[in-house]
Amino acid sequence: MNKVLVTGGAGFLGSHLCDRLIARGDEVLCVDNFFTGAKRNVAHLVGRPGFDLLRHDITFPLYVEVERIFNLACPASPVHYQFDPVQTTKTSVHGAINMLGLAKRVRGRILQASTSEVYGDPEIHPQPERYWGRVNPVGIRSCYDEGKRCAETLFFDYQRQHHLDVKVVRIFNTYGPRMHPADGRVVSNFIVQALRGENLTIYGDGSQTRSFCYVDDLVEALLRMMDSEAGFCGPVNLGNPVEFSMLELAEQVLRLVGSASQLVFQPLPSDDPRHRQPDIALARDKLSWEPLVALEDGLKETVAYFRHVLAHG
Ligand code: NAD
Ligand code: UDP
Ligand code: UDP
């Protein structure tokens, strides 16, 4: 049994992670400021032995006694991270400093949820960890991309300077139940639009690609990385390497929902990456991990979730 802090624990990925940690008998302190997360995501855990929920913003110091930290706090969808971009950078940078300071004091192991966005709009495809990326430092996505890049820098400097036990994972597009219905990400947008009988909004011509990982696969990888051998810090890519265009995704969603919605084309947001696909050779080798859930199966679960949310609130 470990005492585990999950920052951003009431969010989409964080709440699934809390579920798995509690199920395996860990003690969990879930910390969240509820900016994009919600109490309802962890309501079923409240009152369970070993689970605690604390409202706190990680840009402020936090003094708690834990052994392991999963640092997931940060809005992840463009709509949300661009709402208050300065706060987004603060969450990544001040938040990382505080959580690293905490890990240093308790001599605990700390994992950072970084992102494929550190590769920006990549010239190399698929993206291996050794690729340094092509990121605009002054655009509308920079608060997120550069904040996450700086957080990675901090993690590796705390490791070199203070011999901290750090783990960095770069998460590629992940989807599943408990995504925020209004977060603007493509999977939630398409499913919610299809269920409501609204037009599906394709940004650009829909030929841009993403690789979508189901949440259960991703959480399994987070746990394996946290439990991996000391000295393996990453960064390690986590995602599903099967790549789809947004048109292909729209088609699948319409078919699974059984919707007659039309596609409407809207302008592509600036700095929107053309392609994104993880090279997961390192995760396969070091974590003996690869995604198991096919897009169609994961989408079915996600559609069922949103059907319920739209019907019952
Ligand atoms: P999410 O928005 O559902 O979860 C983020 C959580 O962090 C929310 O509960 C939010 O309220 C909380 N939070 C935000 N700022 C905070 C602060 N200052 N203090 C405390 N809590 C704060 O997003 P998610 O998809 O679950 O993402 C979780 C992590 O994984 C993020 O760090 C994100 O950057 C990373 N990530 C996710 C994806 C993905 O596709 N889902 C891809 C790459 C990286
Ligand atoms: N910190 C924290 N919780 C702790 C220990 C530290 O939030 O248990 C914060 C503290 O506010 C500090 C930051 O982490 O600003 C970085 O800590 P570190 O020890 O690395 O640096 P210093 O305290 O020397 O600035
Ligand atoms: N996208 C889209 N329609 C939407 C929402 C997003 O076509 O309603 C596109 C978006 O332009 C991007 C891709 O889908 O090319 C993935 O967008 P998302 O915001 O989910 O993730 P990210 O761009 O961060 O990978």
pLDDT tens series, the chain, 313 aa:
799 999 999 999 999 999 999 999 999 999 999 999 999 999 999 999 999 999 999 999 999 999 999 999 999 999 999 999 999 999 999 999 999 999 999 999 999 999 999 999 999 999 999 999 999 999 999 999 999 999 999 999 999 999 999 999 999 999 999 999 998 999 999 999 999 999 999 999 999 999 999 999 999 999 999 999 999 999 999 999 999 999 999 999 999 999 999 999 999 998 888 989 999 999 999 999 999 999 999 999 999 999 999 998 7
Q: Phi and psi at residue 6, in whole multiples of 5°?
A: -115, 110
Work out whether strand 3-7 and strand 68-71 pair parallel, antiparallel, or are unpaired. parallel
The ligand with the least distance to the CA atom of 213 is 1
Q: What are the C-alpha distances in Å from 134 to residues 120, 137, 273?
A: 5, 9, 10
What are residue 211's DSSP bridge partners? 243
Please confirm whether the linkage preceding 126 is cis (ω < 30° from 0): yes
Where do the H-state alpha helices sit in 258-289?
A: 281-287
DSSP strand pairing (27-32 vs 51-55)? parallel
Ligand 3 proximity of 202 Cβ (cutoff 6 Å): yes
Q: Residue 311: CB partners within 8 Å, gap ≥ 6? A: none
- Does residue 8 have its Cβ closer than 6 Å to ligand 1? yes
Length of the chain: 313
Q: 262 alpha carbon to ligand 3 midpoint, in Å? A: 17
Q: What is the pLDDT of residues 62-103, one digit of tens each?
A: 999 999 999 999 999 999 999 999 999 999 999 999 999 999
13 Cα–ligand 1 center, Å: 7
Q: What is the pLDDT of residue 313?
A: 73
DSSP helix/strand/coil, 269: coil
Residues known to be catalytic: 144
The 3-state DSSP class for residue 260 equals coil
Beta bridge partners of 265: 202
pLDDT score, position 93: 98
Nearest ligand to residue 56 Cα:
1
CA-wise closest residue to 101 among 72, 59, 56, 143: 59
Q: Say if residues 82 and 139 touch (Cβ distance below 8 Å).
A: no
Is 0.95 surpassed by the pTM of this model?
A: yes
DSSP of 79-131: HHHTTSHHHHHHHHHHHHHHHHHHHHHHT-EEEEEEEGGGGBS-SSSSBPTT-
pLDDT at residue 270, rounded to an integer: 85
Q: Verify whether ligand 1 is closer than 6 Å to residue 174 (CB atom).
A: yes
> What is the per-residue pLDDT across 268-294, written as a single tens digit (0 to 9) for each?
998 888 989 999 999 999 999 999 999
Question: Which of 102, 157, 166 for mutating ligand 2's site (highest number of atoms within 8 Å of CB)?
Answer: 102
Burial class (CB in 10 A: 0-12, 13-18, 19+), 166: buried
Decide: residue 64, CB within 10 A, 0-12 exposed, 13-18 middle, 19+ buried.
middle
**C-alpha distances out from residue 255 to 9, 123, 304, Å:** 33, 33, 14
Q: Is 63 in the pocket of ligand 2 (CB under 6 A)?
A: yes
- Residues 313, 310: Cα–Cα separation, whole Å: 6
What spacing in Å lies between the alpha carbon of 185 and ligand 3's midpoint? 6
Cis peptide upstream of residue 75 (ω within 30 degrees of 0): no
